[in-house]
Amino acid sequence: MSGKNEAAVKTRKKPLGLRIKNNIGFYLMFLPVFIFVLIIYYWPMLGIRYSFYSYKLRDIHWVGLEHFKNMFAAKEFWIAFKNTLIISIVKLLLNTFAAVLISIFLNEMTSLFCKKFIQTIIYLPHFMSYAVVAAIFTLFLSTSSTGMINETLKSWGWIDKSIDFLHTPSMWQPVFYIINLWKETGWGTVIFFATLSGISPELYEAAEIDGATRLQKMRYVTLPALSNTIIIVLILNLAKVLNIFEPVFVLYNNRVFEVSDVISTYVYRKTFLTAIPDYGYTTAVGLFKSMVGCILMLLSNFASKKVRGRGII
């Protein structure tokens, strides 16, 4: 058979109806899942239409693009949008960088006991809820006489007056990043550590034969081996940057709204802390967030295709 005929055989498909008929059992088994997906994931999406309605208590009426106009005119919305991007991206970069660094250090450790012990210690904060983490750090950083950090700094004579870490706009974001590093860096090392353990020892042996020092081995063997994983982690997380809510929600307060309010907390306040909320407005903000998230997802997919040859969706 010629090559041309082979291709023709390969591309010829049976009609869809016939394929369904032949595999009716499988299609029937798939049907409930399909219906389930439609009901659970797509039916609620019909609620998107409320972004074009005023929806207060039981008074629902069409307002067209009014909510979007109000949203784009609201200073608070743009502050939240800007903060969402800054906080999420800086957090992502810092957490990834720290996780890579710690993974490499752990990989260099020769004592298995120490390595396991440190891994366990740094993984633990991940399993604490953000509410607990916030309570702990709020207590530690309090300006009251029960605040351990301030009292310690005062007793050492480093400061005279307590520093209001969580209520000072210039300090809130750095403190937030540090708390997040403490909580999530350990867990972030898992994927990098897995990659490191997959690097062939022969590469290190070859580098050693070539006279590479320990640092050079890290520079020329370990880091290049990790680079693909680092990029994939960054790309995958980029698609989720607008979803940040819980870590901010448990740590922010009125005095630092300018630097801490993100879209999700803005929507939360407008929806759940308002006596009679307009669900139409908050749906409009949510829809805008989803659209931007969708664009980021497509960009990530594009970047993923470029980097590793296949997309993430």
Partner 1 sequence: MKKKIVSMLLSSVMIVSALAGCTSTEGTGETTQVTVTDKDGNQTTANVKEGLSTGDVVVDETGEATYEVKDLYIVVDGTLTATKDSGQDEFVAQWEAAVSEKLGHEVHLHINQLDHSDYAGTVSRLLTTGEPGDGSFPDALIMSATMFRQYQTTGLLWDMADAYDNAEFQSRVTLPNVNLNIRTPDGKQYGFAPTYGNGCVSYVKQSWLDAAGLKIEDIKTYDDYYNMLKAFSDGKTYGVIAAGFGKLDEAPYINYMPEFWQGAYPAIYQKPGTTEWIDGFQEQATIDALDRLAQAYKDGLIDPDTEEAGTKQAREKFFSNDQSTSEGVFTYWAGTWLRTLTTNMEKNDVDNDLGDDRLVQLPPIKEIQDTWGGYLNREAPVWVISNDGDDNSLREQAIFDALFETMLDGDTVQTLWTYGAKGVHWDTKAEEFVTNPDDPDKRKEYSYEEGEFHMLPSPGDANTLWKKNHLDSVLVIAPLTNGFTDNDPLVQAGNEFFTSHCVDAPTAASSERLAEINEDLTVDKTTWMKQVVAGEMTGAEAVAAYQEKWGSTIDEILAELNTPQ
- Which residues contact partner 1 by CB under 8 A? 24-26, 28-29, 31-32, 35-36, 39, 55-59, 138, 142-146, 162, 164, 167, 253-255, 257, 269-270, 272-277, 279
Q: Is 109 exposed, middle or buried (0-12, 13-18, 19+ CB in 10 A)?
A: middle
Q: Would you say 72 or 105 has its CB closer to partner 1?
A: 72
At its nearest, how many Å lie between partner 1 and the CB of residue 43? 10
At its nearest, how many Å lie between partner 1 and the CB of residue 272? 5
Phi-psi map region of 157: left, alpha, beta (phi>0 left; psi -120 to 50 alpha): left
DSSP symbol at 41? I
Q: Would you say 2 or 145 has its CB closer to partner 1?
A: 145
Q: How far is it, in rounded angstroms, from Cα 103 to Cα 118?
A: 11
At its nearest, how many Å lie between partner 1 and the CB of residue 44? 13
Q: Would you say 39 or 294 has its CB closer to partner 1?
A: 39
Q: Would you say 51 or 300 has its CB closer to partner 1?
A: 51
Residue 72 tokens, joined: 């784009």
Q: Would you say 119 or 260 has its CB closer to partner 1?
A: 260
Please give the backbone phi and psi of residue 55, each rounded to the nearest 5 degrees, phi first: -130, 85
SS3 110: coil
| Ordered DSSP codes for 114-147 | HHHHHHHHHHGGGGS-HHHHHHHHHHHH-SSTT-
Contact 285, 71 (CB under 8 A): yes
Contact 186, 125 (CB under 8 A): yes
At its nearest, how many Å lie between partner 1 and the CB of residue 197? 42
Name residue 102's amino acid.
I
At its nearest, how many Å lie between partner 1 and the CB of residue 72? 17
Q: Would you say 36 or 302 has its CB closer to partner 1?
A: 36
Q: Is 289 exposed, middle or buried (0-12, 13-18, 19+ CB in 10 A)?
A: buried
At its nearest, how many Å lie between partner 1 and the CB of residue 4? 39
Q: Which of 71, 251, 281, 267 is nearest to 174 (CA)?
A: 251
At its nearest, how many Å lie between partner 1 and the CB of residue 281? 11
Q: Would you say 26 or 117 has its CB closer to partner 1?
A: 26
